[in-house]
Chain A
Amino acid sequence: MSVPKDAGWKDVPKAGRILEPGSAAKYETGGWRTYRPVHIPENCINCLFCWIYCPDQAILVEDGKFKGIDYAYCKGCGICATECPGKRGNKALKMVLDEEA
Chain B
Amino acid sequence: MSIRVGKTGNEAVAEAMRQINPDVVAAYPITPQTEIVQIFSSFVANGKVDTEFVTVESEHSAMSATVGAASAGARSMTATSANGLAFMWEIVYIAAGMRLPIVMPVVNRALSGPLNIHCDHSDTMGARDSGWIQLFSENAQEAYDNAVQAPRIAENPDVKLPVMVTMDGFIISHAMEVMEILEDEKVREFIGKYVPENPLLDVDNPVTLGPVDLQDWNFEHKRQQAEAMRNAKPVILDVASEYAKLTGRKYGLFEEYKLDDADIAIVVLGSTAGTAKVAVDQLRAKGVRAGMLKIRVFRPFPAEEIADALKHVKAVAVMDRSDSFNAVGGPVFVDVRSALYDVDNGPKIVNYIYGIGGRDVTPDHVKTAYADLAKIAETGQVENPLTYLGIRE
A-side contacts of B198, CB under 8 Å: 13, 17, 19
Determine which of B160, B206, B224 lies in contact with A21 in the assembled complex, contact meaning CB atoms within 8 Å.
Answer: B206
Give the distance in Å from the alpha carbon of A31 to the alpha carbon of B214 in the complex: 11
Say yes or no for B126: interface residue by CB 8 A criterion. Answer: no
Say yes or no for A12: interface residue by CB 8 A criterion. Answer: yes
Contact A17 B208, CB 8 Å, known A12-B217, A31-B216:
yes
Q: Are A14 and B206 in contact (CB under 8 A)?
A: no
Contact A12 B221, CB 8 Å, known A17-B198, A19-B198, A31-B216:
yes
Say yes or no for B42: interface residue by CB 8 A criterion. Answer: no
User: CB-CB contacts of A63-94 with B at 8 A, as 1s and 0s?
Assistant: 00000000000000000000000000000000
Within 8 A of B (CB), among A1-35: 8-10, 12-19, 21, 31
Give the distance in Å from the alpha carbon of A18 to the alpha carbon of B217 in the complex: 12
Determine which of B99, B205, B216 lies in contact with A14 in the assembled complex, contact meaning CB atoms within 8 Å.
Answer: B99
Q: Are A14 and B207 in contact (CB under 8 A)?
A: no
- Tell me the minimal C-beta distance from A32 to chain B in angstroms: 8
Residue of A9, A10, A12, A13 with most chain B CB atoms under a 10 A cut-off: A9
Q: Are A16 and B160 in contact (CB under 8 A)?
A: no
- Which residue of A has the minimal Cβ distance to B206? A21
Determine which of B209, B210, B218, B220 lies in contact with A8 in the assembled complex, contact meaning CB atoms within 8 Å.
Answer: B220
Contact A14 B160, CB 8 Å, known A9-B223, A19-B207, A21-B206:
yes
Q: Are B217 and A16 in contact (CB under 8 A)?
A: yes
B-side contacts of A19, CB under 8 Å: 198, 205, 207
A-side contacts of B218, CB under 8 Å: 16
Q: Are A12 and B206 in contact (CB under 8 A)?
A: no
B-side contacts of A15, CB under 8 Å: 97-99, 209-210, 221, 224-225
B-side contacts of A31, CB under 8 Å: 216
Give the distance in Å from the alpha carbon of A12 to the alpha carbon of B97 in the complex: 15
Determine which of A12, A17, A18, A21 lies in contact with B220 in the assembled complex, contact meaning CB atoms within 8 Å.
Answer: A12
- Tell me the minimal C-beta distance from B217 to chain A in angstroms: 6
Count of chain A residues near B, Cβ 8 A: 13
A-side contacts of B225, CB under 8 Å: 15
- Which residue of A has the minimal Cβ distance to B219? A9
Contact A14 B221, CB 8 Å, known A19-B198, A21-B206, A31-B216:
yes
A-side contacts of B205, CB under 8 Å: 19
Say yes or no for B213: interface residue by CB 8 A criterion. Answer: yes
Contact A16 B207, CB 8 Å, known A9-B223, A31-B216:
no
User: CB-CB contacts of B184-206 with A at 8 A, as 1s and 0s?
Assistant: 00000000000000100000011
- Tell me the minimal C-beta distance from A53 to chain B in angstroms: 24
- Tell me the minimal C-beta distance from A3 to chain B in angstroms: 8
Determine which of A13, A16, A21 lies in contact with B210 in the assembled complex, contact meaning CB atoms within 8 Å.
Answer: A16
A sample of 18 more A-B contacts (CB under 8 A), given A9-B223, A18-B207, A31-B216, is A8-B220, A9-B219, A9-B220, A9-B224, A12-B220, A14-B221, A15-B97, A15-B98, A15-B209, A15-B210, A15-B224, A16-B213, A16-B218, A17-B198, A17-B207, A17-B209, A18-B208, A21-B206
Q: List 14 A-B contacts (CB under 8 A).
A: A9-B223, A9-B224, A9-B227, A12-B217, A14-B99, A14-B221, A14-B228, A15-B210, A15-B224, A17-B198, A17-B209, A17-B211, A18-B208, A19-B205
